[in-house]
Structure 1
Amino acid sequence: MIRKSVRKHPTLCDEIFEICLHLYQNKATQDFGRSDEYYDIIICIDLNSKQLKRLQKVLEQELNYAKDNPYRMERIIIEIYKFFKKFGQSKKGIDYFKKEAVYANSRNQYKRLIQIMKKIASSSKGKNSVSSLVKRLFP
């Protein structure tokens, strides 16, 4: 229903962004596995620079929240990848990340990716921002 509204009423993108961002951040939607649906809607919207910065900040917060939750860590990694791919901020080496994160087909591959992300997150000494993690992943 929300996706149809975006297509029919492009002038409502700001309001739809705010609603979907709020729902994405809502812990209840995360617990029931619905938050990625709202994230996919956000990614479909043409965002201005202010909205991009806000979304990046939310992703950073989600990454901090996901440190102790391996399942959520897997999902946030994929969401970060979608963010950088959609907004043209992917760097050399992103294909490796895509292959590991999106097309991982075994539990061992997921565990390996989570270990890599935890190591990077812990070595950044509290600077768990998405941009610093991506710079470290893809020099």
Structure 2
Amino acid sequence: MGGAVKVRFAQVGDTDELVEMARVNAETRPNLQFNETRTRAAIASYLLNAQPTMWVAEKDGALYGLLVADFYPYRYFDGLFTTQEVLFVKPEKRGTRAATLLMRELIAWSKMLGAREIVGGNDNEHNSDRTARFLSHFGFRTVGHAMRLEL
């Protein structure tokens, strides 16, 4: 049967699998070119500085979920906020507890940092309504409109 799904901080030994998850996730933005070198640089930045911060979901030693987040001070207000930048679960593992456990970890981390809010969602038009419904279960609400001008 196997063990339970666990969420933990990504580690050095996860690098190649993180790159592959990022590569699959990049398919949701076909207008952009995946860059493995930049991906590895982002992972190295996390490992060195915790910015961004990365968690993985694993079961029985196999990784199948990734959450990338960061934190920033407000420019005009006191305090800081966190961002949910990537929430990815391998297609064959969607519908498991991975996304829920990753989001719970993000919320706990954000509270630990003293963040005033988490900004996140879906910026790639891939399952946007489904993502919004999922995030609403954690108390997220739609605010404004995200817009993009592709050049």
Same fold, TM exceeding 0.5? no
> TM-score range with shorter-chain normalisation?
0.3 to 0.5
More helix by share: 1
More strand by share: 2
